[in-house]
Chain A
Amino acid sequence: MKKLRDRVAALLDEGAVSLVIGYEEGTKRPRPLFCRNSESSGKLIFDSRCFHNLAVYVTKKELVGKERFAVTAPISTLRSILQLYVENQLSEEKLLVLTVDLNGELREFVTFEEISAYVAQFEMKRGEREQEILSKIEGMTREERWKFWMGEMSHCFKCYACRSACPLCYCTKCVVEVNRPQWINPWPSPISNMEWHVNRAMHMVGRCTACGACGDACPVGIPIDLITRKMMEDLAPEFGYIPGQPAKQGNALSSWKLDDREQFIR
């Protein structure tokens, strides 16, 4: 931790970066810290409780400004950053990524390739909670699944916390706000809730890196992160992707390969 604090202080003092996005101690759990000077770097922490996905801030121009900045990133945040690179939302000149590896060593990344190589060491696994609920859902028939999700979605009151927490929901105008035509009704109701969540899921296909931030943010506890996680898991083997390790360009659904014989389409 000391190494991280010292390095951040040095970076800010040198003027190498103008901002470091990291974690500090909160009332119940760590919360984001925006370090703009070396004094506040003493508050920085980085441990296993720091899972809030800070990648959500790196696309906010009003926050990060025009100067170079840094972010401390646990593995889930690194995956999101990779995906944001693929989607042309980040530039290597502007962002410095810091992490602390399993041996407690401070690591710094500048390029997409460096992060990609580091992330490749970590396999994407379901946690206990995900495993429990997903195995229950996987055991259901199609009708039971529909009933389960309709039940869950009926609690949704469309606060869009899931959207705010997701680092990949960076559109300046979300599809729910498009009103010419109004494809999705904005008010909460079982059907329009489902419309929103189906749309959200479809927009995440081939992009979601299963950080779980959306499910974590849901104030009524709908496990919505499992929809996009399951889609990611199903997509990976069929499209030759490794979950959480995006290819440098394109997307499973938008790109194609000549040698792809599409055996799974029958």
Chain B
Amino acid sequence: MSKIGVFICHCGENISATVDVERVAREIGGMEGVAHAIDYKYMCSDPGQTFIKEAVKKYGLDGVVVGACSPRMHEPTFRRACAEAGLNPYLCEMANLREHCSWVHEKSEETTEKAIDLVKMLVEKVKKDKPLESIKVPVTKRALVIGGGIAGIQASLDIANTGHKVILIERDPSIGGHMSQLSETFPTLDCSQCILTPRMVEVAQHPNIKLYTYAELESLEGFIGNFKARIRLKAKSVNYSTCTGCGACIQKCPVKKIPSEFNAGLGTRTAIYVPFPQAVPNKPVIDRVNCNYYKRGACKICEKTCQVGSIEWDKEDEIITEEVGAVVLATGFDVKGTDFFPEYGYGKYKDVLTGLQFERLASASGPTFGEIRRPSDGTIPKKIVFIACAGSRDPAKGIPYCSKICCMYTAKHAMLYQHKVHGGESTVFYMDIRAGGKNYEEFVRRAIEEDTVNYVRGRVARVYEKDGKLIVKGVDTLLGGQQVEIEADMVVLATAGVANCGSEQLAQKLHVSYDPYHFFAEAHPKLKPVETNTAGIFLAGACQAPKDIPETVGMASGAAVKVAALFSNDELVREPIVAVVNRLAPPLYSTCVGCFMCETACPYNAIEHEEIKGRDGSLIRTIARVNEGLCQGCGTCVAFCRSKSIDIQGYTNEQVYAEVMSLLND
């Protein structure tokens, strides 16, 4: 017969004020199989734990029930106490008498009776508990970082500097991301490329980092510590081991009018191209959609130009498999285009730009070499209007959130304009100025006070073209809603930051959650901002929500620390509360019939196919097997299994049945 010890806690007065704890201990003490039952004021305190340890030894207990607070609070405490006394920790369970009883009911007979029932159920369950061992899974100490913007660069460098290997993949031909497109950075106005490009080079040269550009994640299988990533290396059509990056092919390429992605459509590039002069790696790829040879089958001028014969016309996409232990998602964001705004001309006015396009105009590496010139006629704008919150904070546009970076970069844009165009007039229309951050408010004040930028609080209703000018019709709410009309030469929209294209599909490949706007979801908004709900996958930067460079870099380092902490273990220890498919002696092997309904039902991809083979190697049956590393113990498969061939360790069908029957058999 079982020898169960029951320990009822008063929790100060939290439980004893409404539950007659002495009666609970007395009545449970009379139950069959209960060897010892007591109550005590603070069971979690040192003397309380000592009671449990001594009772385990004195009565030779084979199970312990603690009637106290929530198991989330103190289950580890009591399990540790039992383990110290020599009892398997998983033979100790808690009845939640506080949250499930005393806190939610008034003091009465019935409350006490409910407490007795709760403990009784657990006693019956513990009688059928089996000793369990923690699960240990090995860790592959190599990280995959997806996205080569500043977030991915920082995370890669930080992980690599802890001594672990990193695989960095980037979808574009060069790393650098949006930061490489920026002109100057707030609040110090230092050149973006000057601070970024050294890090890009460091990534390429770091012995612990393997960089794959022009590559995308095809699929990710496995679980924390043991992922298998399939990576598609898109065909570059150029052999990077022989290419010297001389650039002769680029100069000779006859297809010259392709809008440059790097210049946000303001400049052009060729079909064989390097996105920008400081690109890493600084070697070209052929854009097969626009290349004459791939389109019409003739041209091959680049091949004739190339001195080293690096052009590979028939190169195909290659898929490689890498084993990694952790993944950092750093896929960044995108900005809405001007075509998203009917009220600002649907993108048809050439001199209505996005903030990102203005960055290119202001950048020394941009299409105008840093001079602010109108894309339409190349003249220098005398009057410029910046419209903040273009799309952001506008539920009608489906973007109710604040894009966070626009207030600051708009102030920066206006400041840069004033510095570059002497005598120019700039106006900023804003809703509120959000300048929370070190030296941020001072920066905005400087734009207003020293650089005489005209800030108008109000929205712009319409922008239209008239005689080569852009007529901006807005309102000044601080002047009692007075109409404002400005004849501007250029209008810059601080368009909303949105999730990068393909983020939804990527989230599905990785089984991470995402929010309604397709930004990846963190595991906890405050306490787990860099973790995802999938163990071993972490977030860095604007793929989680729009954020500025310092925040992105901070988050990337945070994610890197999480990865390093994970890699500091040789094995991961997990609770053994996982599903198990039964195994029987031959010829049955298992009652599982291999219908694999569990496989489609499992939210964690934890069901595998196990082939049972005879001595001669012939296949006898295929049955389900649960991957302990992936299983989260949710029990969905158990509910689906018609033949009850799957059970959750620690929550078996038998145990749940015993709990229910303990209430019904009164």
Tell me the A residues contacting B by CB distance below 8 Å.
87-89, 170-175, 178, 180-181, 183, 203, 249-251, 253-255, 258
Selected from B508, B622, B658, the residue in CB contact (under 8 A) with A88 is B622
Cβ contact of A171, chosen from B593, B598, B601, B640, cutoff 8 A: B593
B267 interface residue, CB < 8 Å from A?
no
A183 in contact with B597 (CB, 8 Å) = no
A257 smallest CB distance to B (angstroms):
11
The answer on a CB contact under 8 Å between B653 and A171 is: no
User: A residues within 8 A CB of B657?
Assistant: 181, 183
A171 to B592, CA, bound (A): 8
30 CB < 8 A contacts A-B: A88-B595, A88-B596, A89-B593, A89-B594, A170-B593, A171-B593, A171-B643, A172-B588, A172-B591, A172-B593, A172-B643, A173-B643, A173-B644, A173-B645, A174-B643, A175-B644, A180-B653, A181-B654, A181-B658, A183-B644, A183-B653, A183-B657, A249-B600, A250-B597, A251-B601, A253-B640, A254-B597, A254-B598, A255-B600, A255-B601
CA distance A180 to B595 in the complex (A): 22
How many cross-chain pairs have Cβ atoms below 8 Å apart between A and B? 55
| CB-nearest residue of chain A to B591 | A173
How near does chain A come to B352, taking the closest CB pair, in angstroms?
A: 34
Closest to B588 in A: A172
The 8 A-B residue pairs whose C-beta atoms are closest, nearest first, are: A181-B657, A250-B600, A254-B601, A173-B591, A87-B595, A171-B643, A254-B600, A255-B600
**Which residues 315-371 of B sit at the A interface, judged by CB distance below 8 A?**
none
C-alpha spacing A170/B594, complex, angstroms: 10
**Chain B residue nearest in CB terms to A59:** B593
Alpha-carbon distance between A107 and B586 when the two chains are bound, in angstroms = 40
Q: How far is the CA of A203 from the CA of B593 in the complex (A)?
A: 14
How many residues of chain B are within 8 Å of chain A by beta carbon? 21
Q: In the bound complex, do residue A258 and residue B654 qualify as a contact, i.e. CB atoms below 8 Å apart? A: no
B642 engages A203 (CB within 8 Å) = yes
B643 and A251 within 8 A (CB) = no
Closest beta carbon of chain A to B511's beta carbon, Å? 12
A183 to B652, CA, bound (A): 13
The answer to whether A254 and B640 touch (CB under 8 A), given A89-B595, A172-B593, A249-B600, is yes
Within 8 Å CB of A250, what residues of B? 597, 600
From residue 285 to 330 of chain B, which have CB atoms closer than 8 A to chain A?
none
CB distance from A82 to the nearest CB of B (A): 14
Chain B 569-611 per-residue mask, 1 if CB under 8 angstroms from chain A, else 0 = 0000000000000000000100101111110110000000000
Q: A254-B597, A254-B598 are in contact. List 9 more A-B contacts (CB 8 A).
A: A87-B596, A88-B594, A88-B596, A171-B642, A172-B588, A172-B591, A172-B593, A254-B600, A254-B640
Q: Report B658 CB to chain A, min CB distance, Å.
A: 7
Chain A residue with the shortest CB-CB distance to B661: A181
Given A171-B642, A173-B591, A175-B642, also A87-B654 (CB < 8 A): no
Chain B residues contacting A174 (CB-CB under 8 Å) are 643
Q: Which of B588, B594, B600, B658 has the most CB of A within 10 A?
A: B600
Interface centre among A180, A181, A183, A203 (most CB of B within 10 A): A181
